[in-house]
Amino acid sequence: MTLTGTREASVRLTADGVRPALSIVIPLFNEVETIPLLAERLAAALDRLGRSWEVIVVDDGSTDGSYEALARVHAADPRFTVIQFRRNFGQTPAFMAGFDAARGGIVVTMDADLQNDPDDIGAVVAEMERGGYDIVSGWRQDRKEPLLRRRIPSLFGNWVMGVLTGVRLKDTGCSLKAYRSEVVKNIKLYGNLHRFVPAAASWYGVTIGQVPVRDNPRAHGTSKYGLGIKRAPRVLLDLLTLYFLRNFGTRPIHIFGGIGIVSGLLGVLVGLYLTVVKLVYHQNIGDRPLLLLAVLLVILGVNFLSMGFLGELVVRSYHEAQDKPIYTVRRVLDAAGDPTPAAPLRG
């Protein structure tokens, strides 16, 4: 699979001149108590895999001394890279910064609170290689989180994402996921879309697998990124945005124009009915609410059609000015009959 975007992967090498096989990306906010145990368990779990690795921890503007604790971890083991934000930007920007910095051929994401078990990293990577998947998502078993505040919103989010995007995961909210590097290097995230990277990447035709993983109690404290019910409206709006971009990002006239045509036709039909009432039955229609409804529907139809045409102009300017293709290629069979990777695409 070949996916090359505007953020070209910078393949830097480790000190021994080898590109790391694995990059672990972890957003972190005010987890000073967890950091020593997190680093210890990560290093032990990754060393057991027998592969070269790096851990990229993104300090999302912590104020409790987390950065100083991470600096000590880095000094003891340079394979731990620390990126410090100037302020708290949120999980999605933190994941994005980690993706940009990742050098490994496989990028694994997880939370910093040790609810994702470092020993399960090997399971998601093994599932990826066994099934030839581009993305493997963890599926938490025996969840320890509160039913009303976390698990029910999670079930609802899984169902909504499956309906809107066609990507049906049993546990969308599990941060323990593995991606091939060309996937994350070609995904741009906004809002709270870090939960929906598989859905965002589905436009490229990626293959997605799932594997059961453990769900541990938090090592210390409580969640720093808000409760499920509180953030549910924002996540739903982000999911609707993703649905629109995925299905109509290159053809906005299809949705706006469709709504405009339906609205305009309804307005015309109501107007024709009122015309018959006026001319045939000689009834007064000036004080009828239907007259205002007919006018409103026609105006809305014209507005939606105009929005569709403007959207088409914006889309064409976006793709043509930056030479962005509207397709991706997995591989090419050349004249010799050998499958070869496709030429890099800017998408």
pLDDT per position as a tens digit, 286-302: 889 999 999 999 999 99
Give dist(CA 209, CA 269) in Å, integer: 50
Q: Which residue shows structure tokens 């009432």?
A: 277
Confidence check: pLDDT of 16 > 60: no
Q: For residues 346 and 4, is the Cβ–Cβ distance under 8 A?
A: yes
Q: pLDDT tens digits, residue range 218-261?
A: 767 666 665 556 667 777 788 888 888 888 888 999 999 999 99
316 contact partners, CB below 8 Å, separation of at least 6: none
Mean local confidence (pLDDT), 184-204: 82
Torsion angle defined by CA atoms of residues 47, 49, 54 and 57, in that order, rounded to the nearest 10 degrees:
-90
Amino acid at 103: R
Distance CA 198, CA 204 (A): 10
Alpha helices in 10-151 (DSSP H): 35-49, 66-76, 91-101, 121-131
pLDDT of res. 245? 83
pLDDT at 228: 53
Are the C-beta atoms of residues 185 and 5 closer than 8 Å to each other?
Answer: yes
> What's the pLDDT score for residue 162?
80
Residue 110 has pLDDT above 90, yes or no: yes
